[in-house]
Amino acid sequence: MTHPQDPQSRWNDVDDYLTQMLAPADEALTAALDDSDAAGLPRIAVAPNQGKLLHLLARIQGARTVLEIGTLGGYSTIWLARALPKDGRLISLEYDPAHADVARGNLARAGLDAVAEVRTGAALDSLPRIAEEGVAPFDLVFIDADKRNNPRYVEWALKLTRPGSVIVVDNVVRGGAIADENSTDEAILATRELFDLVARDPRLDGTAVQTVGVKGYDGLLIARVVS
């Protein structure tokens, strides 16, 4: 008697197929994940097909400047930086100095250290300094850091972008728990606050999609700054 394949196994198989066909790994991407594993970083980088999505969004946007909040080992940073022109600029913010060191090494090996810069420290401390430097506006902002501060990160993204900029926030479905209005989980509460912010702020026009795959059941939010 055959047994139906469990959903996660099927999701993994489909992601493997999509990645093989449309987002195959190369030496720099593979090495970035290997070095992250060797350094003991958590395995929470975006999936390859999601990295390719970020890359395409940046290219469709015609982005010249990108802000990333949450670097980890620099895997998503590589995907984003590769979408930029030679004179483009990416600033990525990472709280953990050890993670930032791994990311800098991965970006250097990928030949992207002249385009992508990793800054260490709490993002809510770094973002005001970026505003003071006058490097904004950013054409695209990717947020994939501690979930409890997502609403604050989007508020800062609004200050550091322009009409037409795109804001992407990862991990907004939380295995479906986002629909639980009675949740006491800090990440869920903050993410629901994030959705409320995007829904009511007239400067933003956004949507969210549920995703399944090697990262399980989750989703992402994409918003365009309209004013």
Give the 3-state secondary structure of the chain: CCCCCCHHHHHHHHHHHHHHHHCCCCHHHHHHHHHHHHCCCCCCCCCHHHHHHHHHHHHHHCCCEEEEECCCCCHHHHHHHCCCCCCCEEEEEECCHHHHHHHHHHHHHCCCCCCEEEEECCHHHHHHHHHHHCCCCEEEEEECCCHHHHHHHHHHHHHCEEEEEEEEEECCCHHHHHHCCCCCCHHHHHHHHHHHHHHHCCCEEEEEEEEEECCEEEEEEEEEECC
Q: Is residue 137 part of a domain?
A: yes
Domain with residue 129: its CATH number is 3.40.50.150
pLDDT-derived band at 102, boundaries 50, 70, 90 = very high
Mean pLDDT, residues 144-172 taken together: 98
Q: 101: domain range? A: 7-225
| pLDDT value for 3 | 55
- Indicate if the pLDDT at residue 2 is higher than 70: no
In a domain, 18, yes or no: yes
Percent of the chain with pLDDT over 90: 98
Does some domain include residue 2? no
Q: Looking at the domain assignment, is residue 1 inside a domain? A: no
pLDDT of residue 209: 98
pLDDT band at 117 (very low <50, low <70, confident <90, very high): very high
% the chain with pLDDT above 70: 98
pLDDT at residue 5, rounded to an integer: 79
Kindly report, residue by residue over 204-214, the tens digit of the pLDDT: 999 999 999 99
Q: Given this model, what pLDDT does residue 199 score? A: 98
When divided into structural domains, the chain yields a total of: 1
pLDDT at 202 over 50: yes
pLDDT category of residue 1 using cuts at 50, 70 and 90: very low
